[in-house]
A and B are shown apart, each in its own frame.
Chain A
Amino acid sequence: MIPNSQEIAADWSLRVEAALGRYDGELLDGVATRLLKPRGTLPREEVLDRTIEFFSNPVQVDRRISALDPAAQILLEVAAKSQKTVWFVGNLVEIVLGLGWKDGIGAVVGLLESGLAYPVFQLPTTPSPANEFQEMTTAAPLSQPVQFGNFLHWLSSPGPMGHNLFFVPGVLERMEGKPPLLPDLSKNPHARAPGRDEEDGQQADESEPFEEVIYGAPPFPGVEADGCEWFIRISLLWQKIQKNPLKMTQAGEFFKKDQERLEDSQLVAPIPESNVVVPDLGYWLAESARATGVLQAVDIELQATDFPVSWGKGWTGALRELLHGSFGASGWNPQDGWKPQVPGEPVSNPFPSALAIAFSLLGSIESGSWISPRVIEAWILRNHPWWAGQGVRPSRRKPFLETWLAGIVWPMGLVEMAKDPDGKLLFRLSASGKMLMSGASLSGETRAIPKMLLIQPNLEIMAFRQGLDPARIAKLSMFAVWKAFGPACMLQLTPDSVYRALELGESFESVRAFLDGHSTRPVPQAIIDQIGSWASKRERVVIHTSAMVLEFSSATDLEAALGRGLMAVRLGDRHALVDNEDAVDFRMFRLSGSRDYRVSPEPCIRQGPDGLDLTVDETKSDLLLETELPLLADPVLQKIGGAANRHRITPASMARVRERGWNLEMLEQWFRTRTGESPKSSVKLFFLAKARKSLVIEPRIILQSDEEETTEGLWQWQEFKAVTLERVGPCAISIHPEKVEQAKSMLESVGLKWGGMISQKDP
C-alpha cells in the first residue's frame, strides 16, 4: 500500500534506506556525490548513515535546493504548498509541463538524482520470533531485492509500489519562506507560466475578463467553515458500511445497491452555505475515506477500518490527509463527478496535478487579496497539457475549480469564501489554510470547548459543533450512531453501537470517561447503567478468529510450558491458546507437528481392509479431526506409549452421523479429505442401511443343477418358467412351493433325473 504523508513523516529514514538499498553501486555513488559531496567513494553503510544525517542540516539542504533546476525547484514548491510528500510520478510530470517546462521526466529524474526525493518501496519486514519459526517450518527462501542502475530503469519497471516517489519532509520544510516561483495571479491574471519563454506564445487572451481579482476586503464579508463537515460525513459513511462493506464490480463501478447507499439523502445533503452542488458527493466521500484510510480496499470490497491515527492527533494531520485525498480521488473529479477508471485502459486523470497547482496558486496570491476561481482555472486551462491546445472538447472545458474550492475545500475550513458585487464567489486562504500550507501545526489542534455534549435519558446525545474536532468525532462515531448533523448534531446510543466501540478497543470505562469529560451536565445514571450492562455481556463469549493452539502430549507438559513463561490461555488439559505468536518463545518447544488451518487438510487417516477400522496419523492430524472423529467412529484403543490412535466405525456411530444431518455426499467428502479415498461399501452399508428397503429372510425351494447350460435351458422354457419364482444364480432356480410336483413331472418329461428333495431340517 502506498504510504501517505503522515506515514512518510514517521518513517522517512527507513524508506530512504529501503530506496538506497535498491540503488546499485554506481547509482548510489552518483547520488551520494551530488548530495553528500564526499572526498572519496564511501562504503554503502556510510552512505546510508550520512544521508539520514544530512537532512538534519538545514544549511546543506538549502544549498542543494538552490543547485536544482528551476523545474525541479518548482516541484518542491508545489509539494510544499500542498504539504504532500508522496506523489505519483505522472502527476509530477504534468505539474512540470503545466508550469511551462518541456521536459517533465527530466525534472523528476533530476530530483531523484539529487537525493532530495526517493522512489517508494516496501519496507523490509521486521524479524520476529514467529517469522523465524515459520521460516524454520516452511523453509521459505528469503529473496533479495533487485537493484537498478538508473532511474529510467526504475521508471520502466517500478515494482509493486508503482511509480510513486516521496520527498524527505525536511526538504519541504526548507521551502517555507523561499521566494516563490509560482506567479501571483492576483497581481497579474495573465502571468506567463514560469517555465515558458516569451517566444512560446500561449499568452492569455487579453480580452478575457479578469476583473474578478479584488484587493482588500470584498463588499460582503468572507465566511469560513468550522472544518467538521467531512469528518462527520465520512464517519457517517463509516458507520453505514460497518457491517455491510461497499462492493465494486471488476469494471471499478459500485454495485447497484451500493450506489443507492452512496446516494443516501443524509450522506449527500447539501452543504450549508457552500453555494455549489458537488456532483456525486457520496462517491467523493467514499473515495476520500479510502484515500485517508478510513475505508480499506480488500479485493472487491471497501471495508470500514479503524479511524486513522491522524484523526486522533488533531486538525493538522487530519486536514492534510483530507486535502490530499481531494486532489487525487481516483474515480471522482469535480468536473464529471463519479467517473471510475476502466481497468486496463490508460490512466488519464489530470485533476491531481491541476488541483495541486490550483491550491498552490491560491497560496501564492498576496496576503489579503481575494481571487475568483475563474482566474486560476483559466490560467490552468491555458497551461496544463491536458487542456492546452485547440482540439480539447467543450465538455472537458466545463468549470470545475469553483465546485472544488466551494464544495470540497471550503468545508474543510482551509479557505475563506466571499461574494463579489455580482454574486460571484471569491476565495483566499483562511488562517488555517495558511498555517497548513506553511507546514506549521494549526493553532488549537483540539477544540478549546471541552463541554459540548448534552446526554438525554432517552439515550440521545446532542453534540455542539463548536466543540467537535476529528478526534472527538471519531470517538463519538465509535459508540453512538449519527442521526442528524446541523449546528447541533444528534447521535443515538444503541446496544450495537456500544458493542462496536468495545470491538474497536474501547472499554466501558473509556466511553464513560469521554461522556463525563465532555457533557455539559452530569451523565444520567440510567445511561451509565445501560452502557455498563451492554458492555458486561460482551466478556461472556470470546471468538478468536485466527489463534494459535498449542497441543501438548500431556497435562504435565502444558504445566511445564506455562511454568517456563508461556503466555497462553488454557483451553483444557492439553491445549493452550495464544493470540500473539510473536510473544511465544519457540525455543522451549520441540515440534511434533504443524498445521495451518487456512490450508486444506492433507489425508491423515488409513482405512483398514474392511473399511471400518480407522488409524490416525497423529503427525498430520488436526483439531478439526479431534472433534469430527468421535462423531464418526468409536475409539478402539487409547493412545498408550505412542501406539497408533485407532477408531472403529459401527452402526451406532453411523446413526450418530445421520442424526447430525450428514448425507452420503458429506460422508464421501469427509473420507476423501481425511483418508484420500472414498468410504468402503461396509461404511456405506452402515450409513444407508436404515434408508434402504427392509430385508427378508425366508425358506425357498431351490432347483440346483450341475451345469449352467441345463439351468439356462430350463429358464428359457416358458412352460417351466411358469412354475418358478426367480433365478437365483447361474445354476439355481427358485421353484414355486405349490408347484413342486408339476416341476418334477416336467423335468421327468425331458429326461432329467432329479436327486430328490432335501428336507429343511436336513443339514
Chain B
Amino acid sequence: MDPGQSRIPVKVHRRVCILRSDDPIIIEEVLSRKKLQNDIAGRLTPSSVLIRPGRTEPIIAELLKLGHTPKIVQRPQS
C-alpha cells in the first residue's frame, strides 16, 4: 500500500451466506416463496439476498425444485 494513501473505513462481515443473481425475477421468485421465509433474512441489494446462517441447504433444495441449478461457492480452504 502506498504510505501516502489513507486507510478506507470498512466494516467486515465474515462467513455470510448470500444468494446472488443478475436476474431480478429470480430474486423476486426467491423472496416470494413462503417456504423460504424463515431461511431468508431479506434483500440486501437489488441483486442479492441475505440467507440466515446455516440455512443454505433448504434454499438450494427449493431452487432445484424450481428448476434452477444454483452455483455453490464454498469458502476456500486456507
Report A's interface with B, CB cutoff 8 A: 125-126, 128, 130-131, 137, 495, 499, 502-503, 534, 537-553, 557, 560-561, 564, 569, 571-573, 575, 577, 579-582, 585, 587-598, 618, 622-624, 626-628, 630-631, 660-661
Closest to A535 in B: B69
Report B's interface with A, CB cutoff 8 A: 1, 5, 7-23, 26, 34, 37, 41-48, 50-54, 56, 59-60, 63, 67-76, 78
Q: How far is the CA of A208 from the CA of B66 in the complex (A)?
A: 69
Shortest Cβ distance from A677 into chain B, in angstroms?
22
Return the contact of B5 from the options A564, A623, A660 (Cβ within 8 A): A564
Q: How far is the CA of A158 from the CA of B54 in the complex (A)?
A: 35
Shortest Cβ distance from B64 into chain A, in angstroms?
8
Q: How far is the CA of A626 from the CA of B49 in the complex (A)?
A: 11
Q: How far is the CA of A351 from the CA of B18 in the complex (A)?
A: 48
Contact A547 B1, beta carbon cutoff 8 Å: no
Q: Could you give 5 example pairs across A and B, Cβ below 8 Å? A: A537-B68, A549-B13, A552-B8, A564-B1, A624-B52
Please name 5 further chain A to chain B contacts, defined as beta carbons within 8 Å, in addition to the given A561-B10, A592-B11, sorted by A numbering.
Answer: A137-B12, A546-B15, A557-B9, A595-B13, A628-B42
Residues of A close to B67: CB separation below 8 A:
537
Residues of B close to A591: CB separation below 8 A:
9-12
Closest to B70 in A: A541
Residues of B close to A631: CB separation below 8 A:
42
Contact A560 B8, beta carbon cutoff 8 Å: yes
Return the contact of B37 from the options A495, A561, A582, A661 (Cβ within 8 A): A661
| Known contacts A131-B78, A551-B13, A577-B18, A588 near B8 by CB under 8 Å | yes
| Known contacts A571-B44, A588-B5, A598-B53, A545 near B12 by CB under 8 Å | no
Residues of A close to B15: CB separation below 8 A:
546-548, 596-598
Q: How far is the CA of A592 from the CA of B12 in the complex (A)?
A: 8
Contact B5 A627, beta carbon cutoff 8 Å: no
**By CB atoms of chain B within 10 A, which of A545, A571, A579, A661 has the most?**
A545
Residues of A close to B74: CB separation below 8 A:
545-546
Residues of A close to B63: CB separation below 8 A:
541, 543
Closest to A560 in B: B8
Residues of A close to B56: CB separation below 8 A:
543, 545
Residues of B close to A131: CB separation below 8 A:
78
Q: How far is the CA of A569 from the CA of B73 in the complex (A)?
A: 13
Closest to A137 in B: B12
| Known contacts A544-B18, A545-B56, A572-B46, A503 near B13 by CB under 8 Å | no
Contact A626 B44, beta carbon cutoff 8 Å: yes
Q: How far is the CA of A503 from the CA of B72 in the complex (A)?
A: 7
Contact A571 B48, beta carbon cutoff 8 Å: yes
Return the contact of A546 from the options B10, B16, B21, B68 (Cβ within 8 A): B16
